[in-house]
């Protein structure tokens, strides 16, 4: 359990980097944006694998007996979570976690007439202005349901709580920034997924990062469901449906 807690702390610290503009900017200035993106992505994947394997090596203490419907929830929510994380990380976003910082004072629409061309936030912010955090929330909740043991509660519960708290921390930080028109941000985006779309405050659109994230998500999901998940983590999601 000590290794699991240590790996979780490293994971949380690592994923705080994109949320600190000055630190991210300094790293990009030092090593370049492409190197930063490649290095951060590789380290993130490595640390995530370490976290999961640290959990698998921890003592198993059963808390509840999982069932097939819980596995189905996980199979549905995990691709959505992966899409949100990938699209969020590779899309420009001036007020949330992203590997690419946008420079527009609003959420990337034509109403920001004073914004320089191409500086708008990515299309993913029409769904939510915090796609990466919502991806982790969905992933954590889905995996928490289907794994009824103490180590899973520690792992997925910890990541889920961190992500929920992060929603409000990032909103508070963005609200205080002088280069953001926060009233306009709130008018065109939502913290709750799909809320701005349902209320008619914005329109859904597609861009390169969203399409790239969709293709990567489809490929990763097919691989994970056809043996990849069992190979990496020793658990077959399809087999879990029969519980």
Closest CA to 8 of 63, 52, 45, 42: 52
Q: pLDDT by residue (tens digit) across 73-82?
A: 999 999 999 9
Report pLDDT for 19.
64
Report pLDDT for 30.
86
Contact 89, 219 (CB under 8 A): no
Closest CA to 137 of 59, 184, 87, 77: 77
- Rg value, the chain, Cα: 19
Report pLDDT for 240.
81
Residues of the chain with pLDDT under 50: 103-119
Q: Measured between alpha carbons, how far apart are the two ends of the chain, in Å?
A: 27
Q: List for the chain the helix, strand, coil content (%; round to 5).
A: 65, 0, 35
Report pLDDT for 71.
87
In total, the chain counts a number of residues equal to 243
Helix (H/G/I), strand (E/B), else coil: 42: helix
Report pLDDT for 59.
84
Report pLDDT for 113.
39
């Amino acid at each position: 359990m000590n290794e699991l807690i240590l790996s979780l702390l490293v994971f949380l610290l690592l994923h705080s980097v994109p949320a600190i503009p000055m630190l991210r900017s300094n790293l990009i200035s030092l090593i370049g944006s492409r190197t930063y993106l490649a290095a951060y992505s590789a380290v993130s994947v490595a640390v995530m694998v370490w976290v999961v394997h640290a959990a698998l090596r921890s003592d198993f203490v059963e808390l509840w007996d999982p069932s097939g419907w819980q596995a189905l929830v996980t199979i549905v929510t995990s691709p959505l979570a992966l899409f949100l994380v990938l699209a969020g990380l590779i899309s420009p976003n001036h007020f949330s976690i992203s590997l690419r910082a946008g420079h527009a004072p609003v959420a990337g629409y034509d109403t920001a007439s004073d914004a320089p061309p191409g500086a708008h936030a990515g299309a993913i912010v029409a769904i939510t202005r915090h796609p990466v955090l919502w991806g982790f929330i969905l992933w954590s909740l889905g995996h928490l349901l289907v794994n009824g043991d103490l180590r899973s509660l520690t792992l997925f519960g910890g990541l889920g709580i961190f992500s929920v708290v992060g929603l409000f921390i990032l909103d508070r930080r963005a609200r205080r920034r002088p280069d953001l028109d926060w009233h306009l941000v709130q008018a065109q985006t939502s913290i709750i997924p799909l809320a701005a779309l349902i209320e008619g405050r914005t329109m859904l659109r597609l861009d390169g990062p969203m399409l790239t994230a969709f293709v990567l998500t489809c490929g990763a999901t097919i691989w994970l469901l056809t043996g990849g998940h069992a190979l990496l983590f020793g658990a077959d999601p399809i087999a879990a449906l029969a519980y």
